Amino acid sequence: MVTTSVPEAYRECERITRERARNFSYGIRLLPGPKRRALSAVYAFARRVDDIGDGDLPATEKLRLLAEARTALHHASPRSGDPVLVALADAESRLALPMSAFDELIDGCEADVRGTKYLTFDDLRHYCRCVAGSIGRLSLAVFGTADRAVAERRADSLGVALQLTNILRDVREDHGNGRVYLPAEDLQRFGVHLVPGEPGPVASDADGLARLVRFEVGRAEQWYREGFALLPMLDRRSRACCASMSGIYHEVLQAIAAQPSRALRRRTSLPAWRKAGVAARSLAGMAP
């Protein structure tokens, strides 16, 4: 087995983060070196899991690869040949990362592969906590805080807010890939027809879709309010990192709210200069 040194492993994780992270990288660069490297390792493994779930392989093969990733995670060590696992093992030993959170992330990805449907918001909230709240808890272990129990609840709420933003941002792309995350009870309430494998809403559904999006935006804003209470519990650089990442997503949500009927026509995103502005304000203590 070819071994990888810990410094080499972290450099590879940072490369993956630079090249693959869109919004995440704006915040992570604000951290001091040791925390930045550890969070890069978290991102690199999460990216690996997401890539399996979003790939083109048959569902059975995806599930097999996810099971292998789960097993490899729990056998990660500094002697692994895999740089991501080497970096994670080192980060866990230094920061007591809650590695079981990765199991929740994989659970959520498996739900995607199986085509799980969400009938109620409670169903969707569980999924959000798996795929985003898990990363929040891992990030919190890197940041550090005096009151871990309270901070974890707030990090979990922020994760739900971020994932709801993702769902609204990607509703068109997800529907095209055969996935619908918006709860069936909400679709029915607003008279929106959105079913995997079937055409999306027609022009006559535009008003209902706009009202649905505004409703979901309001729901996400409630979770942001709870989640942003985490920021004062973090040290300055960690607070800047968290504020930058969450602030970018919050601005995406606000852009969606400004033009809700566009949700199924195009993916809402921010230009790089605007993301950089959020990061700069976060470092100065002015955001979100």
H helix intervals, 55-98: 59-74, 83-95
Task: Please report, in angstroms and rounded to a whole number, the separation of the first and last CA atoms in the chain.
Answer: 46
Q: Global pTM?
A: 0.90
CB 112 within 8 A of CB 179: yes
Window from 12-21, 142-151, 191-200 with minimum mean pLDDT? 191-200
CB 281 within 8 A of CB 247: yes
CB 198 within 8 A of CB 180: no
Q: Which residue has the higher pLDDT, 273 or 117?
A: 117
Closest residue by Cα to residue 278 from 265, 288, 269:
288
Q: Half-sphere exposure of 132 toward its Cβ, with a 13 Å CA cutoff?
A: 25
287, amino acid identity: A
Q: Is the pLDDT of residue 283 over 80?
A: no
Residue-level pLDDT at 281:
81
Both structure tokens of 84:
């991501």
Q: Is the pLDDT of residue 196 over 90?
A: no
**Alpha-carbon torsion angle 96, 40, 60, 2, nearest 10:** -90
